């Protein structure tokens, strides 16, 4: 049984939870929010054009707890031609109607521990300059079981408080000691979030490079955020469709250059950040281009190429990524098989003399 923290006179914490037609996950996620040990909460549940079943569940939560507010969208804010707009389109209206001192946001497939918000409040109140805070990510599967593995705890070793720009620079340099997989989870002071533009289409990258660097960031490794990995994950679906956020990341980088926010840490650092965001994403783009190509998702590869072709770093990264992609030769074989098989059958049928003269051809026909 939870021990409720009476928070009369203490800061209000707003939790924004987005959902779309996953009532099973939603029930787990929202229940965890409602059962927080910290009780001075404002809970905004976003109905992103969901089905009647999901809407009914949302109204059930609203009727049971006066802290719950519902934000309804008649139509799903997801757009096939601009899928990343959904983040800003859903979360910013919720931010506008929020009244909390601090903001936490999440999707309906993830879960927070019962004392998560309590520990975030403690971080914020423990340092007046703390403008962002986070806990430790624990990946879970579709059933809710924790996924064990060294890569999930080989990082996120950082002090309780540290300058946010040091954390962001560590990520840009490719280190995973301070901030690792997956890691992009922050609560913010509401005023700070509004000051830096709220929720951006670049989503967690905007948080990490556009908000966190300009204050102290807090971390509590005993505050658990359970990040669910499953086939229906939006980021996985979008990546397999070629939507990897290239336009959004380049827009973020260009905005940082124009606004020159990072110059408070030196002009060279500001230039480094702008360039490094693009360079790192070029590597990501090369990886997903190869993965989609070898998985015969040609349209997805072409979408990636359309958005990144002009950036030289992509082409510099691509050969290495192609060679490092798992089962490179096998993948090329599978990719070419639908094209080669009819051709080889034609030669075998109409030019038997070529077949008799070529041992290699015989082996190839047999193998295909």
Q: Taking the model in full, what pTM does it have?
A: 0.85
Looking at residue 67, which CATH number applies to its domain? 3.90.550.10
188 and 305 in a single domain? The answer is: no
The predicted pLDDT at position 232 comes to 81
Q: Choose the final residue of a domain: 289, 309, 324.
A: 324
- 3 within domain boundaries: no
7 part of a folded domain: no
- Do both 113 and 189 map to the same domain? yes
Q: Domain total for the chain? A: 3
Residue 311 backbone phi and psi in degrees, to 5: -100, 115
Please write down the HEC assignment for all residues of 225-257. Answer: EEEECCCCCHHHHHHHCCCCCHHHHHHHHHHHH
Q: Are 293 and 335 in contact (CB under 8 A)?
A: yes
Indicate whether 281 and 209 sit together in one domain: no
pLDDT level of residue 158 (50, 70, 90 thresholds): confident
Model pLDDT for residues 199-237, shown as the tens digit of each residue: 998 888 999 999 999 999 999 999 999 999 888 888 888
Sort 338 into a burial class: Cβ within 10 Å, 0-12 / 13-18 / 19+. exposed
**177 pLDDT band (50/70/90 cuts)?**
low
* 339-349 residue pLDDT tens: 666 766 766 67
- Reading the block at residue 52, the tokens are 């009647």
Do 137 and 68 reside in the same domain of the chain?
A: yes
Which of 230, 246, 281 lies at the terminal end of a domain, its last residue?
Answer: 230
Question: Do 219 and 119 belong together in one domain?
Answer: yes
d(C-alpha 234, C-alpha 107), whole Å? 10
Residue 354 lies in a domain: yes
353 and 310 housed in the same domain: no
Per the structure, the complete domain to which residue 335 belongs is given by 328-367
Measured CA to CA, the distance from residue 289 to residue 277 in angstroms comes to: 18
């Amino acid at each position: 049984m939870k021990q409720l923290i009476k928070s009369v006179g203490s800061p209000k914490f707003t939790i924004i939870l987005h959902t779309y037609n996953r009532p099973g996950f939603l029930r787990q996620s929202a229940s965890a929010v409602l059962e927080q040990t910290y009780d001075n909460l404002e809970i905004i549940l976003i109905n992103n054009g969901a089905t009647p079943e999901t809407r009914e569940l949302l109204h059930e939560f609203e009727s049971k707890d006066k802290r719950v507010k519902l934000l309804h969208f008649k139509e799903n804010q997801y757009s096939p031609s601009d899928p990343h707009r959904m983040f800003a389109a859903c979360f910013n209206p919720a931010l506008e109607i929020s009244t909390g001192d601090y903001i936490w946001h999440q999707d309906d497939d993830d879960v927070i521990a019962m004392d998560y918000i309590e520990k975030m409040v403690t971080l914020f109140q423990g340092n007046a300059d703390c403008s962002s805070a986070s806990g430790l990510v624990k990946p879970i599967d579709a059933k809710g079981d924790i996924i064990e593995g060294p890569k999930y705890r080989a990082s996120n070793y950082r002090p309780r408080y540290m300058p946010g720009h040091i954390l962001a620079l560590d990520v840009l340099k490719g280190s995973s000691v301070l901030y690792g997989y997956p890691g992009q989870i922050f609560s913010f002071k509401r005023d700070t979030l509004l000051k830096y533009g709220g929720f951006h289409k670049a989503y967690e990258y905007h948080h990490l490079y556009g908000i966190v660097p300009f204050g102290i960031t807090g971390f509590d490794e005993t505050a658990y955020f359970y990040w669910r990995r499953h086939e229906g994950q939006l980021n996985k679906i979008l990546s397999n469709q070629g939507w990897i956020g290239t336009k959004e990341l380049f827009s973020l980088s260009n905005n940082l250059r124009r606004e020159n926010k990072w110059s408070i840490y030196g002009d060279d650092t500001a230039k480094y950040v702008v360039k490094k965001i693009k360079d790192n994403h070029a590597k990501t783009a090369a990886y997903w281009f190869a993965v989609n190509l070898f998985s015969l998702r040609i349209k997805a590869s072409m979408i990636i190429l359309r958005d990144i072709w002009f950036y030289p770093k992509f082409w510099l990264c691509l050969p290495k990524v192609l060679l490092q992609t798992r089962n490179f030769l096998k993948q090329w074989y599978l990719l070419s098989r639908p094209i080669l098989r009819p051709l080889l059958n034609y030669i075998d049928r109409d030019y038997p003399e070529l077949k008799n003269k070529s041992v290699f051809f015989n082996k190839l026909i047999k193998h295909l």
